[in-house]
Copies of this chain bind each other. A is one copy, B any other.
């Protein structure tokens, strides 16, 4: 493993911890502080479907997620972590209530790392959210 991929993994793990905290509590500051100003993210559906650009857009998005899940979307297990020099993918399961309805999903998120920040994020759904 090169130095670069070690750093990438370290930063991504810190980011994932802050992301997990954000989903579980609605407190996104630590995660947002890890993002570059030119951060981009892709989301599978709804009003943020497709490519979204900028840290401000990310802030709005994660607040929207926490509203939808009443700040209680819990990552119940992390199934796999894979990486290369610049990117780390987390496969996990989450569970909560979306707009009051039971929600469970299998999810893959892919973080791109630049130096000590996360500069990109792609989310993929392994289910329809009704069960995993």
Contact = CB atoms under 8 A, between A and B. Distances in A.
Interface string A59-86: 0000000000000000000011111100
A106 B124 contact: yes
B84 A50 contact: no
Interface band, chain A: 20 to 34
B1 A110 contact: no
A122 B42 CA distance: 19
A41 B89 CA distance: 18
Contacts of A127: 44-45, 49-50
A91 interface: yes
A58 interface: no
Nearest to A86: B80
Given A82-B84, A82-B87, A106-B122, 16 more contacts: A42-B106, A42-B126, A44-B125, A44-B128, A79-B122, A82-B82, A82-B83, A82-B88, A83-B83, A83-B84, A91-B110, A107-B124, A108-B110, A124-B125, A125-B125, A125-B126
